[in-house]
Amino acid sequence: TLSREAVELARQLGDPATLSYVLAGRYWATWWPENPDERLSLAEEMVSVAEAVGDAERMIDAHLMLYMSYADVGRMAEARATLEDVVRLSTDLRQPAQLWLAVAPRALVALMEGNFALAEELLGRELKWGSPMTPLRDETSAARFHLFLLRREQGRLADAEPAVRASVDDFPWYPLHRAALACLLVDLGREDEARSVFDDLAEHEFRALYRDSEWLLGMCLASDACAQLGDAAAAEVLYEQLAPFAGRHAVGHGEGSVGMVDRYLGLLASTLGRSDDAERHLDEGIRLNEQMGARPWAAHTRHDLANV
User: Measured in whole angstroms, how far is the alpha carbon of residue 181 from the centre of its chain?
Assistant: 16
Contact predicate 308/282, CB 8 Å: yes
The answer to whether residue 252 scores a pLDDT higher than 80 is yes
Kindly report, residue by residue over 211-246, the tens digit of the pLDDT.
999 999 999 999 999 999 999 999 999 999 999 999
The answer to whether residue 172 scores a pLDDT higher than 80 is yes
The answer to whether residue 179 scores a pLDDT higher than 80 is yes
Percentage of residues of the chain with pLDDT beyond 90: 92
pLDDT at 217: 98
Kindly report, residue by residue over 42-86, the tens digit of the pLDDT.
999 999 999 999 999 999 999 999 999 999 999 999 999 999 999
pLDDT at 238: 98
Q: Could you give the C-alpha distances from 125 to 103, 120, 241, in angstroms and in order?
A: 8, 9, 37
The whole-angstrom separation of Cα 66 and Cα 72 is: 10
Residues 6+ apart with CB under 8 A from 58: 17, 20, 21, 24, 46, 49, 50
The answer to whether residue 178 scores a pLDDT higher than 80 is yes
Residue 256 DSSP SS3 = strand
Count the alpha carbons within 13 Å of 239 in the hemisphere toward its beta carbon: 21
Give pTM, 2 decimals. Answer: 0.96
Kindly report, residue by residue over 77-135, the tens digit of the pLDDT.
999 999 999 999 999 988 877 888 889 999 999 999 999 999 999 999 998 877 777 88
pLDDT at 128: 87
Q: Could you give the C-alpha distances from 158 to 23, 61, 111, 143, 181, in angstroms and in order?
A: 43, 36, 19, 16, 11
Supply φ then ψ for residue 171, to 5 degrees: -130, 65
